Structure 1
Amino acid sequence: MKSLTLLIFCCVIAACLSAGLPDTKSVSPAESPSDDGVFVKRDVASAVVRQKRAGTAPADLTLTQLESLREVCEANLACENMMDVSGIIAAYTAYYGPIPY
């Protein structure tokens, strides 16, 4: 009996809430209230959110990122030797490809 009462109560609440909502099909795109704040032009968005380039410079990497590259390279003896001679960036890219971040 309690579950039936709860079910009827939920149906009444759902009907009351849906009765107050406007029909979305009747609103034209020109009358949309969200035109001013949601979408921005492409040049503005690219200035705000910069994308990473494919080849990052060593100065772009943080110390934590360099340390993780160093740990990967230490597992391979040849990569570790090249790391000591040429640097971590050159050794990692030579043995494992481009840097993932």
Structure 2
Amino acid sequence: MKTLSILVLCVLASVCLYAEASTSAASDSDSPAGVFVEKDQASTVVRQKRAGTAPGDLTLTQLESLREVCELNEACDDMMDTNGIIAAYTAYYGPIPY
């Protein structure tokens, strides 16, 4: 059973190496090799969340966790009722950590 597993792994590795060698030989010389892509193309594929996200971008779970923190402070709780959770949390605890 061990021999069969090792044999299958070796065949799989050789197929992967052969496929990589044949695709790199077939590709033109202008394209980058491997996993490197242009910055513009990568930014369209992978969207990163910026540090200064707008309050409207917060999920309901994130807003609820801010609300739970703010409810423990009586002054923050009162301000939350009048000005909203984002303004109250920012006033008493600083910038939102998400």
Output one character per residue of 1:27-71: Cα deviation in whole Å (capped at 9) or x when no partner.
Answer: xxxx8xxx5441111111112222222322222111111100000
Please list every run of 5 or more consecutive structure 1 residues that lacks an aligned counterpart in the other structure.
Answer: 1-30
TM-score (norm 2): 0.62
Residue 38 of structure 2 corresponds to: 41
The residue type equivalent to 1:94 in the other structure is A
The residue type equivalent to 2:73 in the other structure is N
Residue 88 of structure 1 corresponds to: 85
Is the CA contact 1:79–1:92 (under 8 Å) kept in the aligned structure 2? Answer: yes
Residue 100 of structure 1 corresponds to: 97
User: Quick check: which one's helix share is greater?
Assistant: 2
Residue 58 of structure 1 corresponds to: 55
Structure of higher CA gyration radius: 1
TM-score (norm 1): 0.61
Output one character per residue of 1:69-92: Cα deviation in whole Å (capped at 9) or x when no partner.
Answer: 000001111111110110000111
The residue type equivalent to 2:48 in the other structure is Q
Q: How many residues align?
A: 90
The residue type equivalent to 2:43 in the other structure is S
1:79 to 76, 80, 83: 76
Please list every run of 5 or more consecutive structure 2 residues that lacks an aligned counterpart in the other structure.
Answer: 1-24, 26-31
Name the Cα RMSD after superposition.
3.7
Residue 9 of structure 1 corresponds to: none
